[in-house]
């Protein structure tokens, strides 16, 4: 933004005082600025900071102009795709580029928002996002610094600390099956490897007969218990699901379908078959034919897992 309709009044002394006036009233709150040793016209350019603008003067009694400063990237810094050691950040370009194209953005982080900042990358002036990887688990502030082609810089900091922790992982499987009857079964699981930064509050147990959206909740146990007895089931095939919930309300689930089994035993079923071979003996006398039944074989057949 350039304005050429502001005049400069000067008093010709050893130190010139500049006053920005438009139509006989003071334009800005800071109305005077002293330029040392300027007591006559000069071609030396001088800049004066006035709030969000820069006043450029050439000589003492000539016109001045105002130029928008390079403003900070527009925030807030958007956070997404958090893991225990990575995060994606995004920002918007500055509203004012300082009359020069944005050359690049530098990205830094700090663990306590002090003077100690670690630079982790740089992107060109047309890119407004960055993925930080390989960070230790912890809390972070982020800073994005815009630099234009004239070398001017302006920065944007994240308003709040961003916590990077491992997501709540599913209970560790497989679901172990024991004490099977025609209408009951015991199941057991292990606690999640990552609790999502909060204690596991409870586990919910559900079952389904066809692994669809229809699940029946049969019980809940506290976060220190890793087994459950399901009773009163009808004879048939079942899927089981265990859902962990931490004190932050985050949930993660483990299904028995992950094992690839669909029947209540969740194990290989061995079926015993006993059969006979009937043999016709044509070499016997004409008095008759004898049919003998022999104990031929006993075999075991293994029932394969269902996909």
pTM of the model: 0.48
Whether 74-164 and 172-259 share one fold: the answer is yes
Is there a cis peptide before residue 21, judged by omega within 30 degrees of 0?
Answer: no
DSSP-assigned states of every residue in 34-92: EETT--S----EEEEEETTEEEEEESSSS-EEEEE-BPPPEEEEEEES--SSEEEEEEE
> Considering only the top CATH level, what class is 74-164?
mainly beta
User: What is the tens place of the pLDDT at every residue in 236-284?
Assistant: 888 999 999 998 888 899 988 543 333 433 333 323 333 333 343 444 4
Least confident of 75-89, 143-157, 267-281: 267-281
Is there a cis peptide before residue 85, judged by omega within 30 degrees of 0?
Answer: no
Beta bridge partners of 155: 145
* Superfamily per CATH, domain 172-259: Immunoglobulins (2.60.40.10)
What is the pLDDT at residue 65?
52
- Confirm if 102 and 93 have CB atoms less than 8 A apart: yes
| Domain ranges (residues) in the chain | 2-68, 74-164, 172-259, 270-302
Instruction: Kindly tell me if the per-residue pLDDT of 186 is higher than 90.
Output: yes
Least confident of 1-10, 191-200, 232-241, 281-290: 1-10
Distance between CA atoms of residues 51 and 305, nearest Å: 74
Alpha-carbon torsion (208, 209, 214, 216), positive or negative: negative
């Amino acid at each position: 933004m350039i304005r050429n309709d502001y005049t400069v009044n000067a008093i010709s002394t050893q130190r010139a005082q500049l006053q920005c006036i438009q139509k006989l009233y003071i334009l800005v709150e800071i109305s005077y600025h002293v330029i040392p040793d300027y007591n006559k016209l000069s071609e030396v350019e001088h800049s004066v900071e006035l709030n969000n603008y820069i006043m450029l003067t050439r000589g003492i009694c000539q016109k001045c102009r105002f130029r928008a400063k390079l403003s900070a990237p527009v925030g807030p810094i958007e956070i997404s795709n958090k893991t225990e050691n990575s995060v994606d950040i995004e920002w918007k370009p500055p509203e004012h580029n300082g009359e020069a194209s944005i050359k690049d953005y530098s990205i830094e982080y700090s663990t306590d928002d002090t003077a100690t900042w670690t630079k982790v990358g740089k992107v060109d002036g047309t890119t407004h996002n960055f993925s930080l990887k390989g960070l230790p688990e912890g809390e972070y502030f982020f800073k994005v610094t815009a630099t234009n082609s004239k070398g001017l810089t302006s920065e944007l900091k994240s308003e709040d600390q961003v916590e990077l922790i491992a997501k709540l992982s599913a209970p560790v499987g497989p679901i172990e099956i024991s004490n099977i009857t025609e209408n009951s079964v015991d199941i057991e699981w292990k606690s999640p490897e990552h609790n999502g930064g909060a204690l596991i509050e409870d586990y919910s147990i559900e079952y389904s007969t066809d692994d669809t959206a229809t699940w029946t909740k049969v019980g809940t146990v506290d976060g220190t218990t890793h087994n459950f007895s399901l009773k009163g089931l009808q004879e048939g095939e079942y899927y089981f699901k265990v859902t962990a919930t931490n004190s932050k309300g985050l949930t993660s689930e483990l299904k028995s379908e992950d094992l690839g089994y669909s029947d209540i035993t969740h194990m290989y079923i061995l079926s015993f078959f006993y059969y006979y071979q009937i043999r016709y003996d044509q070499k016997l006398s004409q008095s008759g034919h004898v049919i003998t039944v022999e104990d031929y074989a006993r075999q075991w057949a293994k029932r394969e897992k269902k996909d």
